[in-house]
Amino acid sequence: MTRLFFTFLAVASPAAAWAADAVSLTSTVLVERQKLDAQGRPTVALEEPQVVVPGDKLVFHLNYRNAGATPAQDFTVTNPIPASVSFTAGDGAIVSVDGGTSWGRLAALKVKGADGQPRAALPTDVTHVRWTLASPIPAGGGGQLSFRGIVK
Amino acid sequence: MSGGRWKRGALLTGCSLLAAGTDAARAAGTRAGTVIVNTATATYDDPTGDPRTVPSNVVELRVDELLDVAVSGPAADRTANAGAPNQVTSFIVTNAGNGAEAVRLSVEAALGGDDFNPTNVRIYLDSDKDGLFDANVDQLYTVGANDPLLTPDGQQRVFVVADMPAGTDGARAQIRLTGQAATGTGAPGDSFAGRGEGGGDAVVGSTGADADDDAFYALSAAVVDFEKTATVKDPFNGSEAVPGAVITYSLKASVSGSGTLRNFRITDVIPTDTKYEAGSVTLNGAKLTDAAGDDAGTAGASGIAVQVGDVSAGASNTVTFQVVID
């Protein structure tokens, strides 16, 4: 009963929850657009998504920051891939192709193919991405993680 | 800001949000109006070694409607007799976008570079989706009145029906069917704010939301002359039409004029009060079986049919079959 009560408190007053969590995580998404530069050469620009259609390339950024006075140890970020997005790449991430049960480098993972036999996992099989920082986030420190996907 | 807007959501409160939109994977892509929701979770150990979990904010992205249309016409010329009315060609119109979209149709018959222009050109929708034109069932199309509303990847068969003028054998007419997204057309990337399915924008796709394809009518000046004769042989070696007498019918089809008749087929019914004599069909003297699929002929209690194929002017074909008088 006590536990339930506390859960309710955390939902009802998020500010209180933040106060306890020194580390914050902010997610943003940008869309890749092909543009022509002043010389008419094609360049790729990242823009805030005003209009998004199937086939658009998305870049998800995760900004983390340790506002506390002490380092945060064993910092791990996990991001499930949204249902309508097909994963393409994640810098320095390990991935899961089974809904977050097992993890590894994509090249080392296998999934069951259409014929029932295991085959090498493809980026489109990825269900989750995860990063684990090798060193603690120092007090006042922060950084950015990112992964890419395509709107299915 | 409209359409694929994003929201810097408040803290994840562990409810709703996940149910937004559908995620059905389609050839046309994610259905317009679907909301892509992204959240991440961080875990770390605080100074006392206690694990802590921090959710990120929720990012929502609505998928806008892509406007794409495809039109596909017949690969081969439609052979039509000179002067014949109501000659039919068929097209397939496809919604290649990711939202339900009405498609506006138009047909153009007065194109340059061909030999003649068909007249009285109309568009019909294959309303009963049987692939066959039937003026009593299939709906006459009027722009804006009954534009076919197609789901993503949905298709509509469309018939173009036209009258052929008099003309020489082999003369060709080109017609063009155009399909356009009713929401709008334009250069790829053009958008119509707030006009997309599901409340987002509608964005013109790679087809310009405007597609067309051509079909050709080819005139045939070939004319068929049909001659049917019957000879009776009674059981007494006479020629009286009495019960038990065998009637041999002969159907001679002669093609004159010029040109070729495609897929020429000779059929006949078995007269009442007679029975078909099994295995009696011949084509130009050669016996055909009654079974379908093994040769050009099929026959049974109701009638006979012989698929002759392409017949050029000057050729004639004779089919015979026998019945016994009851």
For residue A3, pLDDT beyond 80: no
Average pLDDT over residues A99-112: 94
**Per-residue confidence band for B5, with pLDDT thresholds at 50, 70 and 90:** very low
Q: CATH top-level class for A22-151?
A: mainly beta
Minimal Cα–Cα distance from B30 to chain A, Å?
5
Which residues between 84 and 103 in chain B have a beta carbon less than 8 angstroms from any beta carbon of chain A? 98
- DSSP type of residue A123: G
Q: Which residue of A has its CA nearest to B60?
A: A29
What one-letter code names the amino acid at B196? G
For residue A10, pLDDT beyond 50: no
Q: Among B29, B61, B98, select the one facing A49 at the smallest CB separation.
A: B61
pLDDT: which is higher, B219 or B140? B140
Q: Which residue of B has its CA nearest to A80?
A: B40
Domain segments of chain A as ranges: 22-151
Query: Within 10 A of B141 (CB to CB), how many other CB atoms are there?
Result: 21
**Per-residue confidence band for B222, with pLDDT thresholds at 50, 70 and 90:** confident
Q: What is the pLDDT, as a whole number, of residue A20?
A: 58
Q: What is the CA angle A116-A119-A125, rounded to 5?
A: 100
pLDDT 10s digits, B21-74: 333 334 679 999 999 999 999 999 988 888 999 999 999 999 999 999 999 999
- Is ipTM over 0.85? no
What is the average pLDDT score of chain B?
88
Size of interface A-B (CB pairs under 8 A): 138
Asked whether the beta carbons of residue B34 and residue A53 sit closer than 8 angstroms, the reply is no
For residue B8, pLDDT beyond 60: no
Structure tokens given for B251:
């159907």
Average pLDDT over residues B171-188: 96
What is the average pLDDT score of chain A?
86
**Per-residue confidence band for A8, with pLDDT thresholds at 50, 70 and 90:** very low
Structure tokens given for A14:
């998020």
Residue B323 makes CB contacts below 8 A (sequence gap 6+) with B246, B247, B249, B270, B271, B274, B275, B276, B277
Structure tokens given for B292:
């379908």
Average pLDDT over residues B246-274: 88
Q: What is the pLDDT, as a whole number, of residue B130?
A: 93
Average pLDDT over residues B189-197: 94
pLDDT 10s digits, B129-172: 999 999 999 999 999 999 999 999 999 999 999 999 988 888 99
Asked whether the beta carbons of residue B38 and residue A79 sit closer than 8 angstroms, the reply is yes
Q: All domains of chain B, ordered by start, with CATH? A: 6-65 (no CATH), 67-190+201-220 (2.60.40.10), 223-325 (2.60.40.2260)
Structure tokens given for B83:
């002067």
Which residues between 25 and 64 in chain A have a beta carbon less than 8 angstroms from any beta carbon of chain B? 25-29, 31, 48-55, 58, 60, 62, 64
In sequence order, the β-bridge partners of residue B304 are B268, B299
Residues in chain B within 8 Å Cβ distance of A60: 38, 59
Asked whether the beta carbons of residue A85 and residue B58 sit closer than 8 angstroms, the reply is no
Q: Using CA atoms, how far apart are residues A97 and B72, in angstroms rounded to an integer? A: 39
Q: Among A23, A54, A70, select the one facing B42 at the smallest CB separation.
A: A23
